[in-house]
Amino acid sequence: MSAVLIRNARLLDPFTGRDEIGDLAFRDGVIVASTGAFDDSIDAGGQWLLPGIVDLCARTRDPGATQKGTMRSESNAAFASGITALCLPPDTKPVIDNTAVVIRVNRIAKAAGGAYVYMLGALTKGLEGDALAEISALKSAGCVGVTNGLAPVANALVARRALEYAASLGMTVHVVPLDAALANHGCAHEGAVATRLGLASIPVAAEAVAMRQWISLVEDTGARVHFGRLSSARGVELLAAARARGLPITADVAAHQLFLTDAALEGFNALAHVIPPLRSAADRAALREAVGSGLIGAICSDHQPHELDAKTHPLPLTEPGISAVETLLPLGLRLVHDGVLTPLALAERLVRGPAQVLGLPGRGLAIGAAADLCLVDPSQEWRLDAAGMNSVGRNTPFIGEAFRGRATRVWRG
Amino acid sequence: MSDTLQLTSDGRLRHLLSIEGLSKPLLTEILDTAEQFADSRNSRGKKFPLLHGKTVVNLFFEASTRTRMTFELAAKRLSADVLNLQIAASSTSKGETLLDTLKTMEAMQVDMFVIRHEASGAAHFFAQHAAPEVAILNAGDGRHAHPTQALLDMFTIRRHRPDFSQLTVAIVGDILHSRVARSDIHALRILGAKEIRVVGPRTLIPAGIEDMGVTVFNDLDSGLKGADVIMLLRLQKERMVGAFLPSTGEFHRDFGLTRARLARLSPEVLVMHPGPINRGVEIEGDVAYGERSLILEQVEHGIAVRMAVMAMILSSTGAAA
């Protein structure tokens, strides 16, 4: 089946703004004109065809924590859900802070098949926050950006130098804005729910203070910063103000933040324990609005699969994170059903937005582009059940929920 | 959540995890049952056969003296076999998880666990994973709940002021870290207290506590004005670390209940404290055992209240004879 014709699909190409019923063909992994002979011809019956999803943050747990997931299990779980490329943050064991690890991860990823795996390199050695990692070498080895993830950078001076150094290499610095001192090992949004349940809390200021610091340093250095996993209305305001001043700052949000609030923690539900935490309904509304307007240009999964044991403790002692690649597109489709996004805008947030953040040469559905494709049935009704998940991690608060729409076929060029 | 977990389908106590979710009739029934046990204590040494043949394990992952002792006495007066286990948190970090501990003990045919743990939600966790015939009694989980303390507090208040609808209650001190405060607030609300106040510096008042139905005061004198009951909380001495407070001395100056402050209040005002007290911090020494103090009564009532809860739970699960 090296040559395939997909007929009668709603073609959604966020790179050109194309949204029309039509045919698309590919041969040997490259999109070609839809004329001539094909090995296989698929009648899409009006299903949506979009370029494969690019997930800005998905942990495969491999190398280092393969009881939670392997490259094979997670990249294939992602792929089956419409994600043809994912971006792995450097907090593997060992940390992705040198070329040897990059080469190793590339080898594992290639053997695993599934989604293509891009990597963010560590901003500092060992993610310890003190000394710069060899960012130039990481870039040469193929890293598409650098980050310290949730690990704090020692101080503003190190942060400023890291931005200067990365900027001189043209590398985007990905920042998960969460001030470690203010977060103070909390496990829930500061508010009435955490107070009633007696959970150590993380104020919105933990995000706002971190963003303000990084924005100030961007003003100084002109470095390109991408804020990952925004969680609050104040974070959205700071992003809007920075963008209005023309600063080279982009942002994403994890899909679960657009649907859940801290109310999901009721009953000490450890499956809703994520960092940054699920916040208030007002925060959720602001995030949805920012996704709708495009201020937040990308939606990611923030996939963090866990083994059962990691969540089998009293909530504060559980490991944070949601197994999320399999709900990224379905939750995105909910945004379309809810009227937050048009189908084309959803493709924009799931494909073009993240591809631009990573500087990928995405060319969408154009002839000559790689045939990274995702066929979506937007109306198929299904229910997420644990046994049916492809990820090793079944840790998701969406278990048992009904969804409308999912990926039906996925191809990687 | 806790209400569906801790009650049977017909609304009886199955576990006691939190005061939140208990109905006023059920809460009142617990207090009434405790009255029967408290009365019969006049004939000293009397034992009840209600839990004969039952095994109760006090599983304490946090240090405790008085709470553990009163649970032990309560179980013994109900004729249960009692095992006390003080487990250092470090031993669980060596590989055995909380779930392993539970399952191991369950295999020894335990009927009830009385559990205290530093993590909020630990009792819920136990209840979610316990075998159907095993009951969980929360003796304090993190900052979340300490339901039997709240029950004994309500029991003590009721003996002096039976009409909660007339009561203004001020809870003073470290509300942020206090499971006692949270459970007392729920109980006072359920019983219909007129006004519930929390009093302390901003650093020790958690965000959004107003949603629990309380009024916040950052000044002691205004917080105590017109109060009928003052519930003091223990201030952990390590609160100076982390910049919650500058010193215990300054806390005492601004939020300590002194004889002079007490003299300015109604002579009818009642003073309570869950213990152990920090003399010269949240309370001046001679106020603690003064004529308005109910502190020792609280300790005594702890036994009757815990007997009541144990008896009600083990009878509603059909386990009691």
**What is the C-alpha separation between B227 and B264, in angstroms, rounded?**
11
When pLDDT is averaged across residues B33-42 and rounded to a whole number, the result is 82
The mean per-residue pLDDT over the stretch B313-319 comes to: 68
The fourth-level CATH superfamily of domain B2-145+300-316 is Aspartate/ornithine carbamoyltransferase (3.40.50.1370)
- pLDDT tens per residue, range A92-119: 999 999 999 999 999 999 999 999 999 9
- A271-295 pLDDT, tens digit per residue, is 999 999 999 999 999 999 999 999 9
Q: Which range is most confident: A211-225, B60-74, B97-111?
A: A211-225
Contact A173, A164 (CB under 8 A): no
> What pLDDT shows up at residue B41?
55
What pLDDT sits at residue B43? 56
Tokens 């666990």 belong to residue: B113
Q: What is the average pLDDT across A50-65?
A: 97
pLDDT exceeds 70 at position A339 = yes
Whether residue B97 and residue A190 make contact (CB cut-off 8 A), yes or no, is no
Secondary structure class of B220 (helix, strand, coil): helix
Of A199, A266, A267, the CB nearest to B120: A199
Element (H, E) at B299: helix B295-316
Report whether pLDDT(B2) > 60.
Answer: no
Q: What average pLDDT score do residues A5-11 get? A: 98
Dist. CA A317–CA A375, nearest whole Å: 40
Do residues B81 and B105 make contact, with C-beta atoms less than 8 angstroms apart? Answer: no
HEC string of chain A equals CCEEEEEEEEEEECCCCEEEEEEEEEECCEEECCCCCCCEEEECCCCEEEECEEECCECCCCCCCCCCCCHHHHHHHHHHCCEEEEEECCCCCCCCCCHHHHHHHHHHHHHHCCCEEEECEECEHHHCCCCECCHHHHHHHCCCCEECCCCCCCCHHHHHHHHHHHHHCCCCEEECCCCHHHHCCCCEECCHHHHHHCCCEECCHHHHHHHHHHHHHHHHHCCCEEECCCCCHHHHHHHHHHHHCCCCEEEEEEHHHHCCCHHHHCCCCHHHCCCCCCCCHHHHHHHHHHHHHCCCCEEECCECCCCHHHHCCCHHHCCCCECCHHHHHHHHHHHHHCCCCCHHHHHHHHHHHHHHHHCCCCCCCCCCCECCEEEEEEEEEEECCHHHCCCCCCCCCCCCCEEEEEEEEEECC
Find the domain containing A161 and state its range. 52-362+392-399
Which CATH architecture is the domain B147-298 placed in? 3-Layer(aba) Sandwich (3.40)
Cross-chain CB nearest to B208 (options A195, A200, A317): A195
- B212, A192: Cβ pair inside 8 Å? yes
Q: How many other β-carbons are positioned within 10 Å of the β-carbon of residue A113?
A: 13
- Indicate if the pLDDT at residue B53 is higher than 90: yes
Tell me the backbone φ, ψ of residue B116, rounded to 5 degrees. Answer: -125, 130
Quick one: pLDDT at residue B65? Answer: 84
Residue range A18-24: average pLDDT? 98
Give the total number of structural domains in chain A: 1
* Residues B104, B50 contacting (CB under 8 angstroms): no
Residue B321 predicted with pLDDT over 50: no
Contact A199 B143 (CB under 8 A): yes
Average pLDDT over residues B131-149: 96
pLDDT for position B120:
97
Same-fold call for B2-145+300-316 versus B147-298: yes
**A413 near B CB under 8 A:** no
Instruction: Give me the residue from B1, B124, B207 closest to A191, CB to CB.
Output: B207
Confidence of residue B44 (pLDDT cuts 50, 70, 90): low
Q: Is B6 helix (H, G, I), strand (E, B) or coil?
A: helix
- What confidence category does residue B219 fall into, taking pLDDT thresholds of 50, 70 and 90? very high
Percentage with pLDDT > 70 across chain B = 93
Q: Inter-chain contact A314–B99, Cβ cutoff 8 Å?
A: no
Between B96 and A224, residue with greater pLDDT: A224
Note the pLDDT of residue A71.
Answer: 97
Q: How far is A392 from chain B (nearest CA, A)?
A: 21
Residue A91: per-residue pLDDT: 97
Number of neighbours of residue A128 by Cβ within 10 angstroms: 16
- Measured distance CA(B230)–CA(B232) in Å, rounded: 6
Distance CA B136, CA A103 (A): 52
For residue A184, the chain B residue with the least C-alpha distance is B242
Average pLDDT across chain A, whole number? 97
pLDDT of A331 above 60: yes
User: CA nearest A280 in B: which residue?
Assistant: B208
Whether residue B90 has pLDDT greater than 70: no
Question: Measuring CA to CA, how many Å separate A36 from each of A10, A28, A41, A43, A155?
Answer: 21, 14, 11, 16, 61
The answer to whether the CB atoms of A191 and B2 lie below 8 A apart is no
The answer to whether residue A82 is domain-embedded is yes
Dist. CA A48–CA A344, nearest whole Å? 10
Q: Which residues of B touch A317 (CB under 8 A)?
A: 98, 119
Residues of A in contact with B145 (CB under 8 A): 198
Instruction: Classify residue A101: in a domain, yes or no.
Output: yes
Minimum-distance CB partner of A313 among B20, B98, B212: B98
The whole-number pLDDT of residue B320 equals 39
Computed over its alpha carbons, how large is the radius of gyration of chain B? 19
Mean pLDDT computed over A339-358? 98
State the virtual CA torsion across A254, A121, A69, A322 in degrees, nearest 10. -20
Residue A173 lies in a domain: yes
Residue A89 lies in a domain: yes
pLDDT of B113 over the 60 cut: yes
pTM, rounded to two decimals: 0.95
Of the two residues A214 and B106, the one the predictor is more confident about is A214
Q: Please tell me the distance from the alpha carbon of residue B131 to that of residue B112, in angstroms, as a whole number.
A: 11
Query: Is residue B87 scored above 90 in pLDDT?
Result: no
A312 interfacial to chain B (CB closer than 8 Å):
yes
CA-nearest of B67, B255, B72 to B150 is B67
What is the predicted pLDDT for the residue at B319?
43
Lowest-pLDDT range of A239-243, A392-396, B97-101: B97-101
Is pLDDT at B86 greater than 90 in this prediction?
no
Given a cut of 50, whether residue B72 has pLDDT beyond it is yes
Mean pLDDT of A260-264: 98
CATH number at residue A106: 3.20.20.140
Listed by start position, the domains of chain B span 2-145+300-316, 147-298
pLDDT at B238 over 80: no
Q: Sorting pLDDT into bands at 50, 70 and 90, what band is B89?
A: low
CB contact under 8 A, B212 and A313: no
